[in-house]
Amino acid sequence: MLPSFTAVLLALLILGLPIFLTLALPVLGFLALTTPTPPVLVIQRLFSGIDKFPLMAIPFFILAGNLMATGGLSRRLNRLAIALVGPMPGGLAMTSVCSSMFFSAISGSSPATVVAVGKLMLPTMTEARYSKPFSIGLLMGAGSLGIVIPPSIFMIVYGSVTGVSIGALFMAGIGAGLVYGAAFLLVTYVYARMKGLAGTGGWSGAEILSALRDSAWGLAIPFIVLGGIYGGLFTPTEAAAVTVAYAAFVTLAIYREMDLRGLRDVLMDSAITTAQVMIIVASASAFAWYLTTSGFGMAVQSMLAGIGTDRLTVLIAINAVVLVAGMFLDPNSIVIILVPFLYTVATAAGIDPVHLGVMIAVNAAIGMFTPPLGLNLFVAGSLGITYRQAAVGSLPFIFVALAALVLIALVPEISLWLPAQIYPGIGE
């Protein structure tokens, strides 16, 4: 049943039906026609797919991003970014990489990151002559990293499914995240050098100082967010709401560049963007349920049966399987459907379970922006980017991310060095 289901789905996708219907309607149809399962299941999944508190980071970070963009916070921060890194080749794009990594590490939600950082950085990057496909590819790639960097619900689910220490997984994610981020920074630098994007004149001490002073309120945001989370005041998801409150305060009470009408537009705009994004997340959950119950996991198991215990073969096979699965499934579904089996195969080949978790996380992150069904490719649509631009833009960064993945897979120490300092028995 899976091949014909996939064919229908891709046909609807190409015909241009909205993505949420492309995912939900084939599930409904196949449930009704080929299974005894009542089609109302789709409705139940559409609801429960987004009735999750951690997903509330999506509306709040979108709203915070819009408030900052409209209320003057972004303009001031961008001025500072240009003053600080503008003269450096690729400086602005590197700023985007770092902001994306920060946002996604906090929210754990790459769609929220792509939209929030995208609203902030896309216009500035376009102005600085970066092409749209390059910019969006960069944002999607860097924004997908949240599940690798702690805190990460993906790692928590992986830990509970496999019995591996979550603390060790969090630490292992740091090394892998740094390597992945460094690969992005490097490519950005090379790209900018090649395209001659060594930005704006030279550095000016006076401009830097003035921009610093001007953007002080905006600069405080990462400190408030990180301080609040690591000081135990609020959870990462709640941090998104705190960011909204702070951005609203600065915008309305300090800068006063936005009137009530402007506020209304920002709220309405954020509500619609949230709807665009989350209705796709909701239907992806119906899609995952269908895949789970129609033997997807079994298919993978029989494919990998008898793979043996040669370390390199197993590494390649596991990464290939997760990479393909990641094009269709969200990271948490991958853990639940595939990991119990992959874990057995991997440990038999002597692969450290913490290392396996990091590899799968990086792999699932790559799946988030890999065509045809990577969620972030669709989410980019809410920034006025066409699917084709997003898909084209994603390609070079998929290769960058894959290069990082190969490094992370072949050099376990990247992930395991840090946790091995604290947790005994890791990487031995």
Three-state DSSP at 368 gives coil
User: Based on CB atoms, which residue is closest to another protein, 87 or 167?
Assistant: 167
CA 191 vs. chain centroid, Å, equals 22
Minimum CB–partner distance for residue 43 and Na ion (Å): 28
For Na ion, the binding residues in 199-218 under the rule CB under 5 A are none
> 110 burial class (0-12, 13-18, 19+ CB within 10 angstroms)?
buried
- DSSP one-letter string for 262-328: HHHHHHHHHHHHHHHHHHHHHHHHHHHHHHHHTTHHHHHHHHHTT--S-HHHHHHHHHHHHHHHHHH
Contact flags string 67-106 toward Na ion, x per CB under 5 A: --------------------------------------x-
Contact by Cβ (8 Å): 326, 370:
yes
Contact by Cβ (8 Å): 83, 91:
no
Minimum CB–partner distance for residue 270 and another protein (Å): 7
User: Based on CB atoms, which residue is closest to Na ion, 105 or 338?
Assistant: 105
**386 touches, from Na ion, another protein, none (C-beta below 5 to 8 Å by class):** another protein
**146 touches, from another protein, Na ion, none (C-beta below 5 to 8 Å by class):** Na ion
Minimum CB–partner distance for residue 28 and Na ion (Å): 26
Q: Is 252 left (phi over 0), alpha (psi -120 to 50) or beta?
A: alpha
Minimum CB–partner distance for residue 145 and Na ion (Å): 8
User: Based on CB atoms, which residue is closest to another protein, 214 or 238?
Assistant: 238
**The binder of Na ion chosen from 49, 59, 89, 146 (CB under 5 A):** 146
Cα(109)–Cα(69) distance, integer angstroms = 20
| Residues near Na ion (CB under 5 A), total | 5
User: Based on CB atoms, which residue is closest to another protein, 314 or 337?
Assistant: 337
**41 touches, from another protein, Na ion, none (C-beta below 5 to 8 Å by class):** another protein
Minimum CB–partner distance for residue 123 and Na ion (Å): 26
What DSSP state is assigned to residue 10?
H
User: Based on CB atoms, which residue is closest to another protein, 154 or 184?
Assistant: 154
Is residue 108 close enough to count as binding Na ion by CB under 5 A?
yes
Cα(201)–Cα(186) distance, integer angstroms = 22
User: Based on CB atoms, which residue is closest to another protein, 83 or 140?
Assistant: 140
Tokens 């599930």 appear where?
27
> 239 burial class (0-12, 13-18, 19+ CB within 10 angstroms)?
buried
Q: Which residues of 254-292 are buried (b: 16+ CB within 10 A; e: fewer)?
A: eeeebeeeebeebeebbeebbebbbbbbbbbbbbbbbbe
**105 touches, from another protein, Na ion, none (C-beta below 5 to 8 Å by class):** Na ion
Interacting span for Na ion (CB under 5 A) from 17-25, 140-148, 206-214, 360-368: 140-148
The angle at the Cα of 359, spanning 354 to 365, to the nearest 5 degrees, equals 125
Interacting span for Na ion (CB under 5 A) from 143-151, 196-204, 242-250, 292-300: 143-151
User: Based on CB atoms, which residue is closest to another protein, 207 or 238?
Assistant: 238
Q: Please give the residue ranges that form the binding site for Na ion (CB under 5 A).
A: 105, 108, 146, 149, 152
